[in-house]
Amino acid sequence: MTTTTIYHYTLPDAEATWTLLATERGICGLLYNEEQLPEARAWLEKHRPGSRWRADRVPFETFGATDRLMRYFGGERVGFEDIPMELLGTPFQREVWSALSRIPYGEVWTYGRLAEELGRSKATRAVGAANGRNPLPVLLPCHRVVGANGTLTGYRGGLTMKKRLLALEGIEHVDDRGHERFRF
């Protein structure tokens, strides 16, 4: 059995601590803060048992992720569609996560619309749950998904972070009806 190397690198960002995770195949995780690292290690051990961890910026530069993320956080409109990603989850989760990339920059969709885009209009709650488990926020823009009434309902990184990401894209008209501690 081949041992997988999990690469990690923390981006320098004044407003948040973003830690990138990758295998040799592509980016597999983007953490909101380093406190999520133990949870991420357990999740990756489930998908890549016996992996070894290595701090290394080079894979992320090779994949083109570090430069584009820094430009995105600096307010520049950039795309992430050609960055190699290794989505580790159930087939349904991967289907939902892949669909997130179809939400255009500067727009928001509801969970219902996302479910409809997948041809699963009756699976709104399941789509919402999968969205909440997205391991690649920003790269697969789960922050662009809002409640049926067009309001913020929750975000694993916190509603303050969701508002910040939406504001970077010029979206400031979304009301906050969720609760900051509500995370999924």
Which residues carry out catalysis? Answer: 142
For residue 20, the surrounding DSSP H or E stretch is: strand 18-23
How far apart are alpha carbons 180 and 157 in whole angstroms?
Answer: 9
How far apart are alpha carbons 4 and 9 in whole angstroms?
Answer: 16
Beta bridge partners of 19: 10, 31
Q: Which token pair is 4?
A: 């997988």
Q: Which token pair is 147?
A: 């409640």
**Distances from the Cα of 102 to the Cα of 79, 109, 128, angstroms:** 11, 10, 16
Residue type, 10: T
Indicate the Cα dihedral angle 77, 81, 82, 86, nearest 10°. Answer: 130
How far apart are alpha carbons 84 and 126 in whole angstroms?
Answer: 26
